[in-house]
Amino acid sequence: MDKLIIPKIQQKGTTINRTIRFDGDIYDSLTALAESSGMTFNKLVNVCLRYAIENSEQEETKDIKE
């Protein structure tokens, strides 16, 4: 899989306010990456989520026979 490239400029658009929970290690990694890249935490999370969505594939559901 290709590496995530963190863009310097983000598009502005409509946002939706949500509350989510992070695992502690994920939160720490995101916070450190946001600080080192000069990007806000929220923008970085959106970049990561967009990348994950664009590079994801769903496995086919398999029937389990009893």
Q: Please write the tens of the pLDDT for every residue from 18-29.
A: 999 999 999 999
Domain-embedded: residue 33:
yes
User: Is the pLDDT score of 15 beyond 70?
Assistant: yes
Domain-embedded: residue 63:
no
Domain-embedded: residue 29:
yes
Domain-embedded: residue 43:
yes
Amino acid 26: pLDDT: 97
User: What is the band of 2 on the pLDDT scale with cuts at 50, 70, 90?
Assistant: confident
Domain-embedded: residue 48:
yes
Structurally, the chain folds into a number of domains equal to 1
Amino acid 19: pLDDT: 95
Angle at 18 between CA 50 and CA 2, to 5 degrees: 15
Domain-embedded: residue 9:
no
User: Is the pLDDT score of 47 beyond 80?
Assistant: yes
Q: Which amino acid is at 4?
A: L
Domain-embedded: residue 8:
no
Range of the domain at 41: 24-54
